[in-house]
Amino acid sequence: MLATYRTVKSMVAVAATLVGLAACSSDDSPATPGISGYPRDVAIEYKVTSADVKKGTIRYKNETGADTVLDNTALPFAKTVRRTVNYIDDAYVSIDSNEPGTVTTEIWVDGTKVDSKTHSATSGVDGSSIYLFR
């Protein structure tokens, strides 16, 4: 009986909290920080460059938000996609190569570089860049 009382008491507390939160929200309240402006349409440019690595498998998030995989792709690689993104959606590009060397991965959003990483290896090199929309 005590367990049932605690369960009911917990459910009432949760319900009261939800009602309180609903009562606080209105059309006059300011936008939640970090979420205003979403969803939004953006141009995302992916770049993979290297002076010594000639090809590799490239992966990136495409126009629909799905993954695209391109095997044996020549470097340098560049691809621009237009996509509607929501708060905390991501964009990424990666390279996986059997060749040793140094590779740079970059992501540009609406003409601004938002991530750049340099990856080096004495055997096969791999690496990625990722960006979260916030």
Task: Give the Å distances, CA to CA, from 5 to 18, 34, 39.
Answer: 20, 40, 44
Domain assignment present for residue 73? The answer is yes
Is residue 117 in a domain?
Answer: yes
d(CA 31, CA 9): 33
Q: With beta carbons less than 8 A apart as the criterion, state whether 126 and 119 touch.
A: yes
Mean pLDDT of the chain: 83
Structural domains counted in the chain: 1
User: Any residues with CB less than 8 A from the CB of 69 and at least 6 apart, and which?
Assistant: 57, 58, 59
The parent domain of residue 60 ranges over: 40-132
Task: Round to whole Å and give the CA distance between 48 and 91.
Answer: 14
- Whether residue 5 lies inside any domain: the answer is no
Coil, strand or helix: which one is 122?
Answer: coil
Q: Which DSSP letter does residue 124 get?
A: S
Q: What is the CATH number of the domain that holds 71?
A: 2.60.40
2 located within any domain: no
According to the model, what pLDDT value does residue 44 have?
Answer: 98
48 occurs within a structural domain: yes
Residue 33: what pLDDT? 55
**Is residue 45 included in any domain, yes or no?**
yes
Whether this model's pTM surpasses 0.85: no
Residues of the chain with pLDDT under 50: 1-31
The CA-CA-CA angle for residues 7, 8, 12, to 5°, reads 120
Residue among 51, 54, 133 at smallest CA distance from 88 = 133
Q: What is the pLDDT of residue 77?
A: 98
